[in-house]
Structure 1
Amino acid sequence: MADAPETVPDRILVVDDEEALRTPLCQYLTKQGFAVRQAESAAAARTMLKSEAADLVLLDIMMPGEDGLSLTRHLVETQRVPVILLTARGEATDRIVGLEIGADDYVVKPFEPRELVARIRSVLRRASRAETPAGTEADYCFEGWRLDPLKRRLLDPEGAVVAISSAEFRLLKAFCDRPRQVIDRDRLLDMVQGREAHLFDRAVDNAISRLRRKIEIDRSDPQLILTVRGGGYMLAADVTRAASG
């Protein structure tokens, strides 16, 4: 009987300048079955991610030098890696900004390690569900735009790559899977942010606004992503599937 394939652990990068918190946290996450690396700054994290990707980044907001929000923006726009922010109790504004720019979740310090692990696994499951199942690699095409679900890449009508965050990708893919159908805000909210998104009820509106800035000719008069009063939003375009170029 053949041996069962070995399970590859999820790779977590912990970025925090506070060594007294970072080291025991990494030890705990390792015991929970994750492959953990640690960085003491945003600069160190950038260097480490060039040599090896991460499946999720656990990131402190307040750090010397480049702060966590700046690094979050870089990660969601260039690597589309899920991010969970570590925030102090009084940093409500920073948490909101973090969600607006595409962070997947946040945890307030001091936190219960078991709850943090539950949050990590929830975000990883959500990211996994957004991955393209085998046999559905064909691109989504609408109004000259092309969304590659395998590479998570958006191409404009001229063929240029347009950077999108992981939240924007999930949102646009949801619309492409349901063209000309109204998707209510609660469903979109879960797709964009997941747990506790209801505490920040403008999460969907902000994600829609960012997406419109990228795909609409005139975002003040959108023609592709329409607001349906009392219902939600709709992609007002026909979508076809084509083999990836």
Structure 2
Amino acid sequence: MKRILVIDDEGAIRDLIELVLKRESFRVQTAENGGTGLDKLDSFKPDLVVLDVMLPDYSGYDLCREITNKQAVPVIMLSAKNEIIDKVLGLELGAEDYLTKPFDNRELIARIKVVLRRYENNDQKTYADGKRINSGELAFDLETKVVLKNGAPVSLTAKEFKILETLIKRPGKIFTRDELLELVWGYDYLGDSRSVDMTVMRLRKKLEDDADNPKYVKTVYGFGYQFGGDSA
């Protein structure tokens, strides 16, 4: 059963989402503010977070960034704001999707399932037992979503993790920016390919000894990106 954490200060909406999700056989925990949400993020280890933009103690945008910096977990944001700039801001800060209130319960469920499938079902080559990939200084665990460099954990956002996962499963394959946008952000993403470049830049700073001369996440000029290490 997939675990969903719902963070929303409106009790009626929290209860409704919890009821709908449990009917779909999800395990659910809820939080009425950002502080409680962060505590449950650590204890509950959700597979996805549904996050309201307006919270009493946090900006939802700031909380989204903090969540995705702490764990490689996808976030769907909820908001009464319907402006494109608000949606783009949420997506740029790491959210996988953005849903405007009021919403249809069926749409929320559908979007949650799409995001979860995107994180699980890459039709790409698997390695060894399908759970762990090693390459040089890096160890990449597909099951626990943990990345180690020289044995020390590397903190990646959900987008950074997903780009690395996509590349490392097919070492040497060149992925265009448009392919990465579709695989990582989704076909209906409102931004552009600069989001890929910015995420790769942050990823390199965390993984590479020299981000300007990367040996893992490499640029193929005129085409896109590829993983350059030797995976096993």
| 2:218 matches 1:239 | no
CA distance in 1, matches of 2:231, 2:21: 43
Counterpart residue number, 2:11: 19
Residue of structure 1 in register with 2:142 after alignment: 149
In structure 2, relative to structure 1, the CA distance for the partners of 1:87 and 1:221 (3 Å cut) is farther
Which of 159, 162, 165 is the matching residue for 1:167? Answer: 159
Higher radius of gyration, 1 or 2: 1
The secondary structure found in structure 2 opposite 1:89 is coil
What are the superposed Cα offsets for residues 68-107 of structure 1, whole Å, 9 maximum, x if unpaired? Answer: 2233233223332221111233454443343234322111
Q: Distance in 2 between matches of 1:72 and 1:26?
A: 20
Question: d(CA) in 2 for partners of 1:155 and 1:48?
Answer: 24
Match of 1:140? 134
Per the TM alignment, residue 140 of structure 1 is displaced from its structure 2 partner at its CA by: 2.3
Q: Does 1:40 align with 2:32?
A: yes
1:183 positional shift = 0.9
Identify unmatched segments of 5+ residues in structure 2: none
Question: What SS is found at the alignment partner of 1:240?
Answer: coil
Q: Is the 8 A contact 1:183 1:234 kept in 2?
A: yes
Counterpart position of 2:23: 31
Candidates 55, 65, 69, aligned match of 1:63: 55
Verify the 8 A CA contact 2:216 2:229 in the aligned structure 1. no
Give the corresponding residue for 2:102.
110
CA distance in 2, matches of 1:91, 1:193: 19
Q: Is the 8 A contact 2:7 2:34 kept in 1?
A: yes
Unaligned runs of 5+ in 1: 1-7
Q: TM-score, normalized by length of structure 1?
A: 0.79
TM-score of the superposition, structure 2-length normalised? 0.83
**Structure 1 position 221, deviation (Å):** 5.0
